[in-house]
Amino acid sequence: MPLTRTTEMFKKAYEGHYAVGAFNVNNMEIIQGIMEGAEATHSPVILQASEGARTYAGQDYIVGLTKIALTRCPDIPVALHLDHGSTFEVCKACIDGGFSSVMIDGSKYPFDENAALTKKVVEYAHAHGAVVEAELGRLAGVEDHVNVAEKDAIFTDPDQAAEFVELTHCDSLAIAIGTSHGAYKFKGDPYLDFDRLEKVGRLLPGYPIVLHGASTVIPEFVEKCNRFGGEVNGAKGVPEEMLRKAASMAVCKINIDTDIRLALTSSIRESLHEHPETFDPRMYLKAGREAVKQMVMHKITAVLGSDGQA
Ligand code: G3H
Ligand code: 13P
Ligand code: ZN
């Protein structure tokens, strides 16, 4: 199966009250782990690369590895998506390079500027067979390599979200309802503004909403990191039941990066600790890849509900 756009995936997800996982990719083992997890659970999947991933691995490597993954898993619908594109130029480069979906993140701009930039990307993308995710509202946490102070996080206004979609014709919209990027999401009790999500769903019936910063920060991996020499303290993510509820509402795409980082790193730490004599990278990378696969399988079956939907 060739790369798919997210349109059909999201339509099915909306109607079926589940969400498709969008997993961040940076290297071969991560792509393999995610694809093995998606294949084992017969789930559609979105592989997404940030600007940092493009710089680290090279856009052509990411596209090349994804194309090989498609031939290995011919029954699995796969979209390749740019995560947090900051300019028209980077979105164009990804579309021209073979991505089926891009995000233009103009959330740091005022409404009109964000809408104008998004519209420009949408026009180019739609003319070239790709789809566009935009963002309105600001998440707290680390975004664009700067720390967005919690006080500056601005939850998305539902009326503005409806106006934004009508103005820009973006294919999906990321909104801020309390999640944040990274491993330190909540100081107190986790809280998501479901009333806000419900209102967005009412004003935009059938329209796919995206949840960023949606890692659970799985305690087992945090504990394993720390047991084998790490120092990841005070980490807290979005509880699984909150993600399940969001997936049953208008949220069709759930972004997961931190949980991949934790699965991979904790398993590599464990492997190196248990085999101090070994310096063959295939040993610890294999352990890391397997941990990514198991984590992805768990997300798909126990949280997203996309198993069996390929
Ligand atoms: O939302 C950001 C993603 O976790 C990607 O992070 O820019 O460090 O690759 P990155
Ligand atoms: P996490 O940091 O919660 O994994 O969020 C990832 C994300 O939103 C990527 O765009
Ligand atoms: Zn994000």
Neighbours of 50 (CB within 10 A): 19
Ligand 3 centre distance from Cα of residue 181 (Å):
6
Answer yes or no: is pLDDT of 52 > 70.
Answer: yes
Distance 274 CA to ligand 2 centre (A): 30
CA atoms within 13 A on the CB side of 85: 27
Judge whether residue 143 has pLDDT over 80.
no
- How would residue 144 be classed by pLDDT, with cut points 50, 70 and 90? very low
Catalytic residue at 280? no
* Tokens standing for residue 129: 């067979």
Residue type, 299: K
Torsion of CA 271, 272, 278, 283, to 10 degrees: 40
Rg of the chain over CA atoms, in angstroms?
18
pLDDT at 148: 60
Q: Assess whether pLDDT exceeds 60 at residue 303.
A: yes
Confidence of residue 149 (pLDDT cuts 50, 70, 90): low
Question: Pick the catalytic residue: 60, 75, 83, 171?
Answer: 83
Nearest ligand to the C-alpha atom of residue 180? 2
Average pLDDT over residues 218-223: 97
Nearest CA, atom 5, ligand 1: 50
Mutate to test the pocket of ligand 2, among 186, 215, 238, 253 (most ligand atoms within 8 A of CB): 215
Angle at 262 between CA 258 and CA 266, to 5 degrees: 170
Residue 153 has pLDDT above 80, yes or no: no
The mean per-residue pLDDT over the stretch 32-54 comes to 98
Which protein residues touch ligand 2 with a CB less than 6 Å away? 24, 83-84, 181-182, 212-215, 255-259
DSSP 79: E
Choose one of 46, 84, 184 to mutate for the ligand 1 pocket test, by most ligand atoms within 8 angstroms of C-beta.
84
Check residue 139 and give its pLDDT: 86
User: What phi, psi does 80 have (nearest 5°)?
Assistant: -110, 120
Query: In this structure, what DSSP letter does residue 280 have?
Result: -
Mean pLDDT of the chain: 96
Q: What is the pTM of this model?
A: 0.96
Strand ranges (E), 86-167:
101-104, 131-136, 140-143, 146-148
Domains in the chain and their CATH numbers? 6-304 (3.20.20.70)
Sign of the dihedral defined by the CA atoms of residues 119, 252, 208, 77, in that order: positive
- Asked if residue 11 has pLDDT above 70, the reply is yes
**Averaged pLDDT for residues 96-114:** 98
214 Cα–ligand 1 center, Å: 12
Q: Is the pLDDT of residue 19 over 90?
A: yes
Q: Which residue, 297, 294, 233, 232, is CA-closest to 264?
A: 294
Strands (E), the chain: 20-24, 45-50, 78-85, 101-104, 131-136, 140-143, 146-148, 172-175, 180-181, 209-211, 251-256
**Confidence category of residue 157, pLDDT binned at 50, 70, 90:** very high
- Ligand 1 is surrounded, with C-beta below 6 A, by 24, 50, 52-53, 83-84, 181, 257
Lowest mean pLDDT among 72-86, 106-120, 141-155, 267-281: 141-155
